[in-house]
Structure 1
Amino acid sequence: MASSLFTNTLHVCFDSVLAMDNPGMVSMFESLMASGISGFLGCPAVLYEDALTEFFLNGSVLDEKVVSTIRGKQVEISEELFASTFELPVDGLTDLSEIPKDIVFDVRGIFSFSGEQVSTSGKKREMKFEFRLLSDILEKTISVKAGSFDAVTQERFLIMAAITCGVAINWNRLLFNILKDMVIVASRQAKGYAIQISLLLENVLNLELGDSSEFPSSKILNKKTVHRYIAVNDKVGVEEVADVPRVKKTPVKKAVSRKRPAAVDEPIVKKKRTRVGKAAAVATNSALESVPVQVVAPISTVPPPAPKLVAFENIVEEQRVEMPVDPVDQIIEQVIAETAQVETDVGRTNDSGPDVEDQGVKTADETEL
């Protein structure tokens, strides 16, 4: 467990880094010293791993003090003891949101690697190398975060802005509150401050700490490690820039390929709908049979000319049935019929005698029989 307390910790050797030939890095470390935090970041690097394990195992907060038991002896760390040990400022901002907005605006350009203003929360690679390293120091040693370190949060961006522009921060209150969170069981705060706690325990009277261990040299920031940090980040930055065009081209190709089928199908639908007459009816019926899901506009199945022909034939037929006979022909036929009837009546009058008698006799005979 003890080794996990300083896995990501960075310890600063200010004498070495201030002698570098990199103006940007030197300026950044000078700002750290001016902020009053150099006594915390550059304190003597001693480690008592066994004592650290027991400290966090038995640690708690009591009366605004961090208390614990190590080898049967109670240990108390007050805010005043914390401030005096690391010579931390006790005056300044405790609420980072009070940092002036114009300062935040200015550092967005100062931090930028490309010259364009960076976001207050974004990728670390958008910033210059010295501010990438400053972000790592604050995240790994001050805030003690776990996980990925490729992004910058807004809270850390504000702290970087305050350090760079000389805004006073109450570092003692900020750091001591983080220490209290470390010993609270329900807190999600990662455990750290291994070097600083070891130094505090070393100053406790009559406390047996056991053997000390050496802090890993690879985690001490000096000329060599800082130059290595720049080389690694420079190589990673080049690879990321080279990969950007390939990442951008992928969604563009997909978007074009999705639009092509719609552009090809659209003219076919329009051509089918522009047909008229019998061909349109046949095409519509065949389309309905082959694709039952397709919805077709309600079009009459009888061709447009058909109703007109039927109506015309019906009118002609009605005229033939109801057409009256010519009156002249009717009069002529009537005259001829009447003349024939008159001639018939006259003939019957002349021959009526014998016919009547014979008829009368014949009728009588037939009656007798």
Structure 2
Amino acid sequence: MSILESLELALKNIVSSKTRTVLTMLGIIIGVAAVIVIVGLGNGLEQYVTDSFSDMGTNTLTVTVMSRGSTRTLSVDEMYEIVDENSQYLDLCSPTVTMPGYVKIGSETITSTSVQGVSEDYFSISGDTVASGRGLQYSDMAARGKVCVIGAYLNLAYYGGNAVGQTLRVGGQSLTIVGVLAQTDEDLEEGGSDDCIYLPYTTASRLIGDVSSYIITMQSEDYIDESVAVLESALYEVFASDDYYTVTSMSEMLETMTSMINILVGVLAGIAAISLVVGGIGIMNIMLVSVTERTREIGIRKSLGAKERYIMQQFVIEAACTSALGGIIGILLGDGLSIAASTVVTRLMEETLTVAPTLSAVALAFGISVGIGILFGYLPAKKAAGLNPIDALHYD
């Protein structure tokens, strides 16, 4: 008996017992669909995180320094000198000062707005553009100017789109608005990225204390290790200890986040794959029942000269076909659920997140489903092939 003949006979047996076949394939269908959706969700999360970090700039380094008494401190000018001395690796530098407290516009008090003191290079580092007015300038830093640049949300919500030239108060200090940033979010909302205020870091540091954080860009992402090394070396010379500063690379943070997502997806996919094993056990069980039901058929075929390997081949192919058919249905179901999940997650998170299973994940899930059918179909097939023809013919 050829493989094609065994395949044809297997399909006839599957079709003849539709309900039993569907129930047998259920574990395979659920397992394959779950694996595809989970892997697709992992891919979507990874792409979302990558895009988010790209918006923040993967060529940036964040430096946090702490004073070590009165004899060992790092001033802003000294940090600028470190950047200039290592210009082959480092490019722009902006001190950053996060302002706590509230913002007062007219008679209204706002607590959701983020307020930061930055340098004139900050917008070049962050990629923000000024839609109206001007950005912060070096002269604002030198004179500790009482000026600021605000986000599009504040401009529209509190100034009707005409904020330039008007004032607000931060930490009790009155600031004149000299510029408005272009909108970055699709929707303008309270607490969003467009709900922000930027003032000169010199003005901010006078209000709350010394600068302790810096954002520095690299000349090239190809020299991340070298850039981090020169910064840490220069800071070590100042503090004589690595306990008083940290240098964080956005690229390293992205790699860490991506690896965490991959581990989580792997664990969840492994848990989902357990249902594939359960489905395989179901296939083995139903094939054992099938062997019992077709004992006389097996006896007749063996008495007519059918070899054991042909009997085994028939039952293994039937188990593999059942499992493969379940895998195909599971793939179609998984793709459908992935599309639905993309819509649901996007609406719930109000962020674009695409659940996109890869072709390799689909192929792997299908291959595993077929492999499980062959693996769990082997024992029933071996039992069928080993039946004594005389006993099989007398089986009632």
TM-score with structure 2 setting the length: 0.23
Higher relative contact order (CA 8 A, sep 6+): 2
Instruction: Please identify which structure carries the higher helix content.
Output: 1
Instruction: Please identify which structure carries the higher strand content.
Output: 2
TM-score with structure 1 setting the length: 0.24
